[in-house]
Amino acid sequence: MRIVTQFMLFIFTLVSFQLGFAKSTDEEANIRQVLKNNFADLEVDEIKPSPVKGIYQVSAGPTIIYVTGDAHYAFSGDIIDLKNAQTNLTEDARKQARLAGLKALGEENMIIFSPKNPKYTVTVFTDVDCGYCRKMQNEMSKINELGIAVRYLAFPRSGPNTPTYDKMVSVWCAKDKKGALAAAKANKPVAENICPNNSVMKDFQYGMQVGVNGTPTLIFEDGTMVPGYLPPEKLLEAAEQLAVKKTS
């Protein structure tokens, strides 16, 4: 009798799980369709249940939004876990989305200044005509000495079809990209060079997507984004602190 009871309990649990899974799958499919109908250009990467019952988290590139299970309402904002050190769960999702975006851009398209064995890596949206970007470049030897590698992405603040944009295309198309970038930031001439499939536009568009509105803007290894210039020692301090949080 006991065996029969246990078997019935197992069957009940299995059926309940399958029904719940089916409901979740149906709701996710409905949400995806409704979003497609309302926002044709929105490329949804993932839909999954959020920490709040009845609400789904939708990831579209670096953008995180929330949609009710019936796909009636959508909203943006941050979910804060008040019982877990006020952790910003939405920002955690954004960090992972930023890192996925950087991976998609490809390190081979970045201009990298690195020590032989870097302890930390910081990805930087830069503009060759930005004063603080030039200051950061002037301090690159010190930054590298502190064990930090810098991966540059192009972000011409003036936008496409401007002298700064064209200059950055020439830098990213140069045979010696590091030398060309250093020269451009020192206000020295760079040979005009327009190559197919350069990444300047992709970098710029991605920066706009993640909310870059000034340069330099830094993205650390855990996905944390920090706007503005940091002196080498402060840059190292931030990298160290974020690395500790990432492993804790």
Q: Where are the domains of the chain?
A: 2-91, 106-247
Residue 129's pLDDT is what? Answer: 97
Burial status of residue 101 (CB atoms within 10 A of its CB: 0-12, 13-18, 19 or more):
middle
pLDDT along the chain (248 residues), means of 10: 51 48 76 91 91 93 92 93 92 94 96 97 98 98 98 97 97 97 96 94 96 97 97 98 79
Architecture of the CATH domain 106-247: 3-Layer(aba) Sandwich (3.40)
CA dihedral 5, 8, 14, 18 (to 10 degrees): -150
| CA 213/CA 87 separation, integer angstroms | 25
Catalytic residue numbers?
127, 130, 133, 157
Q: Which amino acid is at 102?
A: L
- The DSSP secondary-structure symbol of 147 reads T
Residue 232's pLDDT is what? Answer: 98
Residue 2's pLDDT is what? Answer: 52
Residue 8's pLDDT is what? Answer: 53
Residue 54's pLDDT is what? Answer: 93
| CA 144/CA 148 separation, integer angstroms | 5
| CA 111/CA 177 separation, integer angstroms | 7
Residue 14's pLDDT is what? Answer: 47
Looking at 3.50.50.60, 3.30.365.10, 3.30.479.30, 3.10.450.70, the CATH number of the domain 2-91 comes to 3.10.450.70
| CA 40/CA 60 separation, integer angstroms | 12
Residues 60-63: contacts with CB under 8 Å, at least 24 apart: 61/97, 61/101, 61/209, 62/94, 62/97, 62/98, 62/101, 62/206, 62/209, 62/210, 62/211, 63/97, 63/209
Give the count of alpha carbons within 13 A of 197, CB side only.
4
- Token pair, residue 93, equals 């999702």
- The DSSP secondary-structure symbol of 108 reads G
Report the interhelical angle of 200-210 vs 89-105 (nearest 10°): 180
Residue 239's pLDDT is what? Answer: 97
